[in-house]
């Protein structure tokens, strides 16, 4: 018998504060799976009307699936978070778009009717597991010229994207980075970010003093408020001599986790769960791996076409800032100004950090908050580039839409 496709909604999303990777980072002595557990538990605490036994799936993404990011993370984190043993789980990997893929994969199952309620998210502990740890790329990629060697290094792909868009200068990239830091600082000052952060208790060791103690992490560590063009001007260009990509106009190496609740809209309303965004369409595309940052452009074209929408219908954008040039290429393609008020209103990954597989849900959580503030906006999108030449875009509808102008 024919099935009815159900509407899928974003119920809630949370994340840990993001940290800097490495020995001096806040999560250096914290396990990756424990970060996921914190996020799942916070979802349950914030949604007491949800019976945990009603969760049909836990999908958790990680790019480097070894160590404390391995062992079918969705299942193990669910058990550690106290979910009933009847709740299954699995792991997923699409590099930077891991959490975004966890959302769309489970959303498809909700629409089909296989699931009613799911948890979807991601984690990356780049301090414990640097990107590419333990991998063995097939030598045919380079020997048979299937891809250029630069495709294996994300910073080099960003330099290649600058080559494709000579109008996107280092100055424009730095100006964009400064705005991202300023918007993030303002979002914090206005209390827009903290409400979706779960505090994390961490163990800290002071090697010099020989002391170990505990602290509580309540804010993102990578942020650099007060960043100026002057402070960015002298930074090294590590991926190319006299290049344009620096640590100041790119996201750093970070640790953190995210988790979200998705449900069929009728089930969410029946359970008394909030309906914060409605899924409209999504798309993934492949592009030349050497210009990985181009991916959001065709992915957005495909997602908009599936939804029967155009770029002019989108009233809010959450674009992952892996590199400033990648966002600027997207904006230039669509004729959107570098400082358009619809884009990344709270700032982005250049300020907050980009713990690879976790970032997709951060974009969604920030978009959901903006939907609440802007009932005049009907549609928004979350989009990101993905390692080894892909792009991912999800189009969302604002359930608070009041019929006003977009």
**Secondary structure element (H or E) that encloses residue 318, with its range:** strand 314-319
**Kind plus residue range of the DSSP H or E element containing 15:** strand 8-15
Pick the catalytic residue: 28, 129, 162, 354? 354
**Planar angle of CA 362, 273, 381, nearest 5 degrees:** 35
Q: What tokens does 121 get?
A: 């998210």
Element holding 395 (H helix, E strand):
strand 390-397
Q: Strands, E, within 218-300: which ranges?
A: 254-264, 277-286
Specify whether 354 is catalytic: yes
Q: Is 333 a catalytic residue?
A: no
| Listed residue (360, 369, 45) closest to 198, CA to CA | 45
CB-CB contact of 31 with 62 (8 Å):
no
User: 28, 96, 162, 374: which one is catalytic?
Assistant: 96
374 catalytic per annotation: no
Kindly provide the residue ranges of all beta strands, DSSP E only, lying in 187-250, ordered along the sequence.
200-206, 211-217
Structure tokens at 322: 């892996």
Q: Token pair of 73, please?
A: 């993370």
Interior CA angle at 18 toward 35 and 120, to 5°? Answer: 50
* Cα R_g (the chain), whole angstroms: 20
Distance CA 42, CA 1 (A): 39
Catalytic residue among 129, 162, 374, 385: 385
Catalytic positions: 96, 354, 385
């Amino acid at each position: 018998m024919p099935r009815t496709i159900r509407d899928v909604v974003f119920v809630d999303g949370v994340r840990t504060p993001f940290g800097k990777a490495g020995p001096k980072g806040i999560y250096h002595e914290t396990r990756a799976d424990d970060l996921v557990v914190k996020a799942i538990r916070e979802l349950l605490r914030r949604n007491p009307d949800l019976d945990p036994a009603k969760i049909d799936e836990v999908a958790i993404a990680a790019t480097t699936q070894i160590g404390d990011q391995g062992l079918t993370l969705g299942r193990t984190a669910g058990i550690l978070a106290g979910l009933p043993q009847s709740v299954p789980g699995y792991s997923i990997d699409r590099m930077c778009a891991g959490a975004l893929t966890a959302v769309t994969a489970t959303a498809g199952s909700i629409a089909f009717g296989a699931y009613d309620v799911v948890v979807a998210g991601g984690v990356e502990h780049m301090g414990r597991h640097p990107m590419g740890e333990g991998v063995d790329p097939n030598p045919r990629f380079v020997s048979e010229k299937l891809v250029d060697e630069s495709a294996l290094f994300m910073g080099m792909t960003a330099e290649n994207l600058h080559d494709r868009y000579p109008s996107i200068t280092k100055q424009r990239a730095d100006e964009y980075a400064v705005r991202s830091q300023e918007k993030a600082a303002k979002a914090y000052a206005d209390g827009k970010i903290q409400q979706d952060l779960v505090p994390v208790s961490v163990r800290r060791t002071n090697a010099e003093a020989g002391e170990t103690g505990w602290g509580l992490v309540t804010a993102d560590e990578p942020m650099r408020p007060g960043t100026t063009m002057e402070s960015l001007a002298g930074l090294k260009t590590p991926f190319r001599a006299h290049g344009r990509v620096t640590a100041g106009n790119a996201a750093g190496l970070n640790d953190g986790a995210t988790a979200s609740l998705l449900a069929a809209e009728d089930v969410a309303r029946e359970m008394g769960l909030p309906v914060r965004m409605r899924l409209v369409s999504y798309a993934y595309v492949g592009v030349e791996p050497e210009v990985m940052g181009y991916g959001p452009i065709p992915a957005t074209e495909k997602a908009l076409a599936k939804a029967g929408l155009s770029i002019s219908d989108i009233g809010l954008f959450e674009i992952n800032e892996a590199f400033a040039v990648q966002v600027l290429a997207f904006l230039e393609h669509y004729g959107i100004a570098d400082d358009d008020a619809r884009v990344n209103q709270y700032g982005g990954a250049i300020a907050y950090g980009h713990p690879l597989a976790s970032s997709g849900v951060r974009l969604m959580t920030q978009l959901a908050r903006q939907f609440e503030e802007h009932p005049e906006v009907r549609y928004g999108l979350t989009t990101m580039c993905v390692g080894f030449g892909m792009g991912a875009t999800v189009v969302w509808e604002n359930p608070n839409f009041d019929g006003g102008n977009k």
